Amino acid sequence: MAFEAKVIEAQLALNLIGSTDMPRLAWDALEAGLDGPAIRRLAALEFPTAFQIREVLPNAMEEMRLAKIPVGEAAIRLAKIRAQEILSSNSDPFKHLRDFEHLLIQTDYCRELRDYGNLDDEVHVARCMGRPESEIRGWLLARLEKLAGTLRTLCRSCAICFPINCSRINSLSTLSQRHPE
């Protein structure tokens, strides 16, 4: 595993790295060229307890140049990375709807994920309303592209902009409406 500071900061903020995985984090930091007494101490631990980690982690984070970030920022960072992975792999986005719900739950329903944590429910409602699958897919891809920061310039539904980027079109219920420019 490569040492990716932004991802690790987010995972630490959300307590997604267990105490027994902390030595591996230190090994990755050492392999990335980061070094220091706390990193070495962390790397030397075998099956560490939470108490051992709590003692050494703040200094190790400083030596790894990792910042403590708020839970909301960490959640949106991981959600953005997940959206980028889904889009870049050309994977079926319908198979990954629960990924964002799990992250929402792990973050105790943080405000920053409220627009993405219920994608599965929103797709279900759209299907129950009889929306065409192609329209739902377009809407879902637009939401993922917005989250990933890769919005395209033209919209599939109105040829002006993606619905998620348009201030006049922001939900499935108004997805099919056109707006004048």
Does 164 score more than 50 pLDDT?
no
Distance CA(63)–CA(115), nearest Å, equals: 35
How many beta carbons lie within 10 A of that of residue 13, not counting itself?
21
In one letter, which amino acid is 37?
Answer: P
**CB-CB contact of 22 with 45 (8 Å):** yes
3-state secondary structure of 95: helix
**The predicted structure's pLDDT at residue 132:** 96
Q: What dihedral angle (degrees, nearest 10) is formed by the CA atoms of 82, 99, 48, 38?
A: 20
Q: pLDDT tens, 37-74? A: 999 999 999 999 999 999 999 999 999 999 999 999 99
- The model's pTM is 0.77
What average pLDDT does range 5-16 have in this prediction? 96
Quick check: 77 and 11 in contact, CB under 8 A? no
Q: Which helix (H) or strand (E) holds 119?
A: helix 119-128
pLDDT digits (tens, 9 = 90+) for 79-90: 999 999 999 999
Question: Please, is 5 exposed, middle or buried when counting C-beta atoms within 10 Å of its C-beta (0-12, 13-18, 19+)?
Answer: middle
pLDDT in tens, 110-148: 999 999 999 999 999 999 999 999 999 999 999 999 999
